Amino acid sequence: MKNSVFSLFIWVALSIWALFTTVPSATAQQTTGYTSQVNQVFGEKLTFSLTGMPSQAVQQVQLVLRLPSESILVVEMVPFTENNKRFSAKVDMEISRLELLPFSVVEYYWQIQYVAGEKENTPPTSYHYADDRFTWQTVERQQVRVHWYAGDLAYAEQVAQLSEQVIHEGKVEYGLDEIPVIEMYLYARQGDLLNGWADAPAWVAGHASPAQNITRLAIPPGSGASLIMGELVPHELTHWLVYQVPPVGYRDIPVWLNEGLAVLAQKQVSTQLLGTLQTAAEQNQLLSFEDLCTHLPQDEHLVQLAYAQSYSFVRYLAETYGREKLLNLLAAYKNGVHCTAGVQKIYQKDFTTLQADWLGSLVPQNFILATLTTPYFWLALLLLLLPPLVWVGARHK
């Protein structure tokens, strides 16, 4: 986390985790004698306020938040005033500190400690951090609600129809039965998405929050929308579908498998992405899969290579060993098996050997692709065919 204050409070957060998951103890009774409110300035801050008329003197007030990102808790000491028995507390929390994405849900409660030693907690409450810069419209289907603010109804319905198709296919692929409805927010410009997301990488055009059943996509309405839909919609929905697969260890899935499955589900994969892989393989500049177990690179070009490698490797596993083993690998990771150990367990090969096999499978593909895309191949083919064509032409004169 980028804010040092945020880090200082993590250890405190661990000690109070039970307050969200268990009934408060006798020394921290729940109370409804206070009024809590949240106001927002989108992209800048959330202002939390608490008012009431306590029956005894207040010693200190804390605001406890559970954030969507990794379910981290933040504990904040809040200044307060008491005037004629009327109590008031207020604190501003910067969006960048909380690392909130548009439409995230923040859970919070207040803890009031009195001079006499007693403590009270307000009931846990949820706040929906909506993007209020735009007037949103909604199209609802069985498994998806599509929200958009630019473009016509046909544009939104096309996304909804594609989403329903992807979800149906995914439910069959991953053996899912009952799954929740997902909220999909369509941004007409990539800048609109990025401006509402603190510290977002410049290359991001979509993001899924599987635990909250939310995905955000930058799909400009117009003639090129269908092509972008075919990539982004299946990609982000696959992250969400993979999250639905039991058990719950989504964060234990290696990045290369998570992203590889998402790219594999796309309706089309760009030639630029495949070209990035080909060039890196030819120049011996492929990324380490051990690094791709845990994170994507920061550099935009390397991110594209990471997507290409992940896609190619996952496709190789599926085509060589079958989809069933690939799903067994996913289950192993969600059960907490380590990145390299999962491969050994399912494929009976160490990670290095399996990578070498995959890399060997790329050589014929790269050779053919390189041959067909070089002008010298076509020139040589023309020179070979020209004499017979001339001879045939001469015979028909």
pLDDT at 62 over 60: yes
Whole-number pLDDT of residue 395: 52
Question: What average pLDDT does range 166-184 have in this prediction?
Answer: 96
Residue type (1 letter), 310: S
Say yes or no to pLDDT of 391 above 70: no
Q: What is the mean pLDDT of residues 284-291?
A: 95
pLDDT digits (tens, 9 = 90+) for 68-123: 865 678 899 999 999 888 999 999 999 988 889 999 999 999 999 999 999 999 99
Q: How confident is the model at residue 29 (pLDDT cuts 50, 70, 90)?
A: low
Structural domain boundaries in the chain: 4-129, 133-245, 248-397
Sign of CA dihedral 262, 211, 10, 128: positive
Q: What is the pLDDT of residue 6?
A: 38
Nearest to 129 by CA among 64, 191, 67: 67
Q: Residue 8: is its pLDDT beyond 80? A: no
Cα–Cα distance measured from residue 236 to residue 216, given in angstroms and rounded to the nearest whole number: 8
**298-312 pLDDT per residue, tens:** 899 999 999 999 999
State the Cα–Cα distance between residues 49 and 46, nearest whole angstrom: 10
pLDDT number for residue 306: 97
| More confidently predicted of 164 and 22 | 164
The candidate with the shortest Cα–Cα distance to 267, out of 300, 230, 233, is 230
Strands 119-121 and 28-30: parallel
Return mean pLDDT, the chain. Answer: 87
Find out whether 344 and 350 touch, Cβ atoms under 8 Å. Answer: yes
Please give the backbone phi and psi of residue 270, each rounded to the nearest 5 degrees, phi first.
Answer: -65, 145
> If pLDDT is split at 50, 70 and 90, which confidence band does 362 have?
confident
Of residues 17 and 385, more confidence is placed in 385
How far is 166 from 141, CA to CA, in rounded Å? Answer: 13
pLDDT of residue 83: 87
Please give the residue that has the higher pLDDT: either 317 or 395. Answer: 317
What is residue 228's three-state secondary structure?
helix
pLDDT digits (tens, 9 = 90+) for 138-169: 999 999 999 999 999 999 999 999 999 999 99
Q: According to the model, what pLDDT value does residue 196 have?
A: 86
pLDDT band for position 384 (50/70/90)?
Answer: low
Q: Residues 6 or more apart from 36 whose CB is under 8 A from it?
A: 48, 49, 50, 110, 122, 125
Most confident of 52-56, 202-206, 313-317: 313-317
Q: What percent of the chain has pLDDT over 90?
A: 75
Looking at beta carbons, which pairs linking 28-31 to residues 24 or more positions away fall under 8 Å? 28/111, 28/119, 28/120, 28/121, 29/118, 29/119, 29/120, 29/121, 30/120, 30/121, 30/122, 30/123, 31/112, 31/120, 31/121, 31/122
Residue 12 to residue 336: CA distance in whole angstroms: 26
- State how far the Cα of 57 lies from the Cα of 335, in Å rounded to an integer: 49
- Give residue for tokens 């605001």: 63
Q: What is the DSSP letter of 298?
A: S
Sign of the torsion formed by the C-alpha atoms of 196, 202, 204 and 208 = negative
More confident residue, 74 or 367: 74
Query: Which tops the pLDDT comparison, 378 or 64?
Result: 64
Please state the CATH superfamily assignment of the domain spanning residues 4-129 in this structure: Immunoglobulins (2.60.40.10)
Q: Which CATH architecture has domain 133-245?
A: 3-Layer(aba) Sandwich (3.40)
| Residue 21, token pair as written in the block | 């998951």
- Residue 196 CB neighbour total at 10 angstroms: 22
**Residue 393 confidence (pLDDT) above 70:** no
